Amino acid sequence: MRMRPTAQSAGQDPEGEQQAYELRAELDELLRASRYASQRERRLNEAIRAAPGRQRPDGDLLRQLAQARALREGLGARCLQLSDRLEALENRLRSRQPEPEPQPAQAPPPQDRPARPARPARPARPDIGALAERVAALHRAGAFAEATELLSRAATGLDPADAALLAGMLSRRGPTGASLHLARSAAQCAPEQAVAMLAELRELGLAEEAAELFHAFWGYPASALPALLAALERAGQGADGATLLWEWGSAPTPELTALATGLRRTGRHADVRTLLRQAAGRPTAELAALATELPAELATVLLHELAALRPPVELVKLAAALDTSPELYGRLLAALLADGARHRTTLAALRSAGLPTEPAAAPRSRWGRR
């Protein structure tokens, strides 16, 4: 809770300080309302997507979704307007602030009256308007490297809500590209903070900046992606996680193998299946190489996905490519035989190609019979 400024703390313009206090309070309320509207919009989207099959979504849900979207966009626009007013007011107050006058030394308190302990100072909210002006001033002076460094520090050091407000100011007033660099730099934060920044940008209607940050997520190494996917899931941004997995489905075999292994290690088994399902569209030779590189359990998941998704002619090509690896061939054959009626055509094509259609018999021990 912020302390209401008094005439003593307001310097030469107590009325302006009071107005700034009220603007900050109103901006906080609007940001909370904007987050609520965004959460409601996400819930309605999920309810509409949950409609079975191709059934048309309920008309009332569609109307509620349109209302929630309009409310969220209106609140975002209002937040940016208030941030502009607050920036202008803070600039005016700074320009009127007099130099502090030297204070006469005060007598020490009487020895019989203990001094009152000082209260800890409340952390001051960053002056976002001054920060935006500093970035613009560096650009005007040609100090582009310094401006870029300042934006990078702001992305990682500011609260996500304040960083999003700064992006909004820079988006409208320039310098050109500054808001995009700020958004991109937020990908360097811990996953929770980066995802929070993404949500704040969207709530303020900064679609281009949000897209820039989301695209930066594509550059995460495989080792960092499970934590990012978990953060997106907790923030209700599961669709973004599915999009990232779709992109990773076309990654080179070593990187995809590393990601699948990391997802399995962190218990994200549904993400493993999604990732391998996306990879199932690769050429047959790549799929055979991928099955060879994956750990045994994940190779089995991949082969079952392929058995469910690929047509008979492609499955025969894959079986031929795996024929030199009896273990992998056996797993593919087991996936086909698990639903023999469905894969009758594929099994017939395997027989025509001279490939086995029965599981290999286990080797008999020489001591099994006498």
Q: Dump pLDDT digits (tens) for 333-346.
A: 999 998 878 888 99
Measured from the Cβ of residue 320, the count of other Cβ atoms closer than 10 Å reads: 16
Structural tokens at position 249: 């489905």
Q: Please give the share of the chain, as a percent, with pLDDT higher than 90.
A: 42
pLDDT of the residue at 9? 41
pLDDT of the residue at 127? 83
Answer yes or no: is 256 within a domain: no
Query: How many whole angstroms from its chain centre is CA 159?
Result: 16
Q: Dump pLDDT digits (tens) for 277-303.
A: 888 888 888 999 999 999 999 999 999
Whether 320 shows a pLDDT value over 50: the answer reads yes
Answer yes or no: is 149 within a domain: no
Q: Which range of residues forms the domain containing residue 69?
A: 14-47+64-94
Q: How far is CA 16 from CA 11, 82, 166, 183, 349, in A?
A: 10, 15, 22, 32, 83
Answer yes or no: is 33 within a domain: yes
Q: Give CA torsion, residues 203, 204, 210, 212, to 10 deg.
A: 180
Answer yes or no: is 83 within a domain: yes
Answer yes or no: is 339 within a domain: no
Whether 94 shows a pLDDT value over 70: the answer reads no
pLDDT tier for residue 49 given thresholds of 50, 70 and 90: low
Answer yes or no: is 88 within a domain: yes
Query: Looking at the 3D structure of the chain, how many domains does it have?
Result: 1
Whether 369 shows a pLDDT value over 50: the answer reads no
**Helical pair 160-173 and 178-185, crossing angle rounded to 10 deg:** 160
Lowest-confidence range among 82-91, 193-202, 319-328? 82-91
Q: Is 8 helix (H, G, I), strand (E, B) or coil?
A: coil
Q: Dump pLDDT digits (tens) for 4-44.
A: 444 444 445 677 777 777 777 777 777 777 766 777 777 77
Whether 368 shows a pLDDT value over 50: the answer reads no
For 365, left (φ over 0), alpha (ψ -120 to 50), or beta?
Answer: beta
The rounded distance, in Å, linking the Cα atoms of 235 and 220 is 18
pLDDT of the residue at 51? 58
Answer yes or no: is 29 within a domain: yes
Answer yes or no: is 24 within a domain: yes
User: Do 147 and 182 meet the contact criterion of CB atoms below 8 Å apart?
Assistant: no
